[in-house]
Amino acid sequence: MRKPRIAAGACSLLLAAACAFAGPATAQVASSTVAGGYVALGDSYSSGVGAGDYLASGKECKRSSRAYPVLWAEAHAPATFSFAACNGAGAKDVLKEQLGHLSARTGLVTLTVGGSDTGFVSVLATCALGGTERCLSAVSRSRAVMDGPLAGDLDVLYTAIRSRAPAARVVVLGYPHLYHLSGSCALGLQDGERTTLNDAVDHLNAVIAQRAAVHGFIFADVTGAFAGHEICSSSPWLHSVDVLAITESYHPTAPGQSLGYLPALTHAT
């Protein structure tokens, strides 16, 4: 996977009213994050690959105006908004190329990262083309990376984020299940392989959540929000495999960003 070249992105913000239903504690948190700057870090799930309407700046990062960080910023109008997330970014890429947007004035940091580090793209390709045995072997290797190198890389990254943004509320979002079991797909993977992939996503989320908790960060689980909207469901919020748009395969659609990821972030802030 090629290394992404990060280009700083900026989005205009729309003034929004404060949430009338927020309790005192929630209102205090919201006031803190809005008063400070908001920095959106991470990989393709944060940049909005699959959601369309990509911004002109940093084209290779495929940052979408429909991505959940942009939608949150438009709704809450933070003091500043830096959209650094980039397609293909792993934990080391975020560490080296995206943290320059953080400062002591940063009030909110969000990110998704970990999927690229574990080679999940190649795992999916192996499962789609290589048969059950090769699929299971690929998933097993990916899970070993999650438990070993990824956990260590997340610790380094999370430590650096806290060092650069000591006062920020940091929300780490997870990944959704990819497949709806016993769904509408007549071709492709069998349910056994789909279950294995969903279980691998659960394991990845567990590793990310554990490391986030150690650093005092909030983990936002999106699997519940996407339940019933996975690939092979009647109303999917994820792109299935498309050889004509391979980059967008297995990524959230615009509704996946606005109805899946955005509510999870809003709840966490």
Active site amino acids: 44, 251
Token pair, residue 54, equals 């990509």
Can you spell out the DSSP letters for 161-182?
A: HHHH-TT-EEEEE----SB-TT
- From CA 57, how far away is CA 53, in angstroms rounded? 12
Burial 115-151 (b: 16+ CB within 10 A, else e): bbbbbbbebbebbeeeeeeebbebbeebbebbeeebb
- From CA 193, how far away is CA 195, in angstroms rounded? 5
Cite the DSSP H helix spans in the chain.
Answer: 24-35, 44-47, 68-76, 91-97, 120-129, 132-145, 151-164, 191-214, 223-226, 254-255, 262-268
DSSP tag of 41:
-
Which residues have CB under 8 Å from 175's CB, separation 6+?
Answer: 45, 112, 114, 115, 201, 204, 205, 222
